[in-house]
A and B are shown apart, each in its own frame.
Chain A
Amino acid sequence: AQSVTQLGSHVSVSEGALVLLRCNYSSSVPPYLFWYVQYPNQGLQLLLKYTSAATLVKGINGFEAEFKKSETSFHLTKPSAHMSDAAEYFCAVTDYSSASKIIFGSGTRLSIRP
């Protein structure tokens, strides 16, 4: 069975600092991996996705993530945090065989300090 684990339910960084949100996955077959963002009272919006092409994936709002098979990780980073980045972030996984059963991690709330 597939799963993702997000380390840290809450991360707080200063404005302008590096953002690092951690995600580790478990999958018996090559995975598709996603990062979503959720702002208060809204649905989930895709930030970026990995689909077996380039291992370094660039997304919207300056975010990027690197797929590391040896570490089974897909951590999300942004060089410089903005106040507008404060939100909940979810890592998710699906695989080629099940085609589209998408399983989400427990989420990480990102807070930005002025």
Chain B
Amino acid sequence: DAGVIQSPRHEVTEMGQEVTLRCKPISGHDYLFWYRQTMMRGLELLIYFNNNVPIDDSGMPEDRFSAKMPNASFSTLKIQPSEPRDSAVYFCASSRPGQGDTEAFFGQGTRLTVV
């Protein structure tokens, strides 16, 4: 398997624009996570899904953030409208604890810059 695939790797956008980050988890993994990494706040769990259903979105910072998982092989994280303080690296990760893969496998991340 190619691992967790995120796109784009880098995104630069203007304040107020909509941003969509994409993630393809490892095939067969039933958990998907979105994390945000910043110098100030470290690695924060934003939301996670089990079998395409959102389980816990308590880490989503505000209503401007939304995440979907329409099927087992695709998820999106959307920010609308974007603000400079959203600049961060966003990671997607997947796991399958029921089959022994208790750890999260991470993608390479999307570096978002909002100017």
**A102 and B45 form a contact (CB under 8 A):** yes
Residues of chain A within 8 A (CB-CB) of B97 are 94, 99-100
Q: Give A85-108 interface residues, CB cut-off 8 Å to B.
A: 90, 92, 94, 99-107
For B, the interface residue count at a CB cutoff of 8 angstroms equals 24
Contact with B along A2-36 (1 / 0, CB 8 A): 00000000000000000000000000000010101
Tell me whether A101 and B106 are in contact in the complex, defined as CB-CB below 8 angstroms, given that A43-B91, A44-B91 are known contacts: no
Bound-state CA distance A15–B48 (Å) is 39
Residues of chain B within 8 A (CB-CB) of A99 are 31, 50, 97-98
Interface residue A51 (Cβ < 8 Å from any Cβ of B): yes
Interface residue A82 (Cβ < 8 Å from any Cβ of B): no
Chain A residue at smallest Cβ distance from B104: A102
Contacts between chains A and B (CB distance < 8 A), count? 57
Distance of B77 from chain A, by nearest CB (Å): 15
**A43 and B103 form a contact (CB under 8 A):** no
Bound-state CA distance A101–B59 (Å) is 12
**B50 and A44 form a contact (CB under 8 A):** no
Q: Quick one: which of A32, A90, A104 contacts B102, CB cutoff 8 A?
A: A32
Bound-state CA distance A45–B109 (Å) is 12
Q: Give B5-44 interface residues, CB cut-off 8 Å to A.
A: 31, 33, 35, 42-43
Bound-state CA distance A45–B105 (Å) is 7
Residues of chain B within 8 A (CB-CB) of A43 are 4, 91, 106-109
Tell me whether A51 and B102 are in contact in the complex, defined as CB-CB below 8 angstroms, given that A102-B33, A107-B42, A107-B43 are known contacts: yes
Bound-state CA distance A13–B62 (Å) is 41
Residues of chain B within 8 A (CB-CB) of A34 are 103
**A103 and B45 form a contact (CB under 8 A):** yes
Chain A residues with a Cβ under 8 A of chain B: 32, 34, 36, 42-46, 49, 51, 90, 92, 94, 99-107
